[in-house]
Amino acid sequence: MKNISNIKFRFHASVLLLIVLLGFSNISNAEPSFKGQVIKWVVPFSAGGGADVIARFYAPLLRDNLPGKPTVEVINMPGAGSTKGANWFSSEAPIDGKVIFSTSGSTQFPFLLDDPRVKYNYNDWEVLLASSSGGVAYLPSDLGKLWNENLESALKVNYIFASQGPTRLDLVPLLAWNMLGMNVEPIFGIKGRADGRLMFEQGYVNIDYQTSSSFLSKVTPLVEKGQAIPIMTWGILDDDGNIIRDPNFPDIPTFREIYIRVHNKEPSGSAWEAWKAFFTAGFSAQKMVVINKNTNNEIIDLYTQAFEEIINQKNFSQISKNYLGVYPQSTGPKAVKFKERATQIDPVAISWVKNWLNNSYNLNL
């Protein structure tokens, strides 16, 4: 009887151990869930700008595609042309996967130009989503009509432009307008392009540009009301690296086309090569969503899969057109390549731009 009892005890103990082990196995293999959690999506610009529009478009879609359907809250943290928010994300944001961050060309350019306010490094971030974009410059209706009817006279107008700063994405239009011989006086220090648009609407400035996402959703109504007239886009790159018309704005000439009209020749030389290099870095991967690379790999993979499912859904192009335009949206290895293109630039172009910034704005980097 004693032996039988020992056998029964060992049997029950073995079954219990098996159950426990299976339980641990299921726990270890269980997919992480965000159920009941709040994901903070930090945008380092004011509400209403391009990065903010994109984040608010994607936020509910991300919620629906992450396991557990967490709340995704977009938080604006403007300041210093995005470096305030980027510095915070790099040094203070938790790495538990509950905070993701939006970057733009205005985050990339200070990093590339060794701006002393930069305390972040793109090498510390894993890219979850990369979005290409374009940009559109526009004028008030009276100046827009003058531009279209008498370009030579329009070029002589004294323009005022609300800018985040010359080392931000605003570098692209400032250099373009300089190459056209325009007299554009920038007012530096605005927190985001949305603030520039509001100053334009209120009549404080008479020239502005917005990235495509913001232009499509915020400026198009002004154009439809006759309060603004677009004058140029920055264009896009074709497969051979040439600047061609932006497919989202096929009726608006590119900066390159305006340059040819003004100078009667194709753009070339150091200024053009520098402009094109920064345009490529700033707009081909203009908006990125990143997470700290020290975050658990399983969580990073869940974000990547969620964004992949979003951009591959059948109606994505239809629902995104008025917010993102028709531009590539990339995840995984493709997004990594976009990040490399955005954060690696010809040292000759960087040197030329630093010299131009010093001569133009007394900014010594």
User: What DSSP designation does 163 have?
Assistant: E
Q: Is 39 helix (H, G, I), strand (E, B) or coil?
A: strand
* DSSP codes joined into one string, 254-309: BHHHHHHHHHSS---HHHHHHHHHHHHHHHTT-EEEEEETTS-HHHHHHHHHHHHH
Contact 231, 137 (CB under 8 A): yes
pTM, rounded to two decimals: 0.81
The sign of the CA dihedral 149, 150, 153, 156 is positive
CB neighbours (10 Å) of residue 219? Answer: 22
The sign of the CA dihedral 140, 44, 188, 176 is negative
Domain boundaries, the chain: 38-133+283-345, 135-282+348-358
Quick one: average pLDDT of 221-229?
Answer: 97
Please give the Cα distance from 111 to 274 (Å, whole number). 16
Q: What is the pLDDT of residue 240?
A: 83
CA angle (231 as vertex; 225, 237 as ends), nearest 5: 120
Closest CA to 276 of 306, 298, 248, 254: 254
| The domains spanning 38-133+283-345 and 135-282+348-358 adopt the same CATH topology | yes
pLDDT-derived band of residue 75, with 50, 70 and 90 as boundaries?
Answer: very high
Q: Which CATH class is domain 135-282+348-358?
A: alpha beta
Whole-number average pLDDT of the chain: 90
pLDDT-derived band of residue 362, with 50, 70 and 90 as boundaries?
Answer: very high
* Residue carrying structure tokens 């140029």: 232
Burial 273-300 (b: 16+ CB within 10 A, else e): ebbbbbbbbbbbbbbbbbbbeebeeebb
Q: Which CATH class is domain 38-133+283-345?
A: alpha beta
User: What DSSP designation does 218 have?
Assistant: I
Q: What is the pLDDT of residue 26?
A: 41
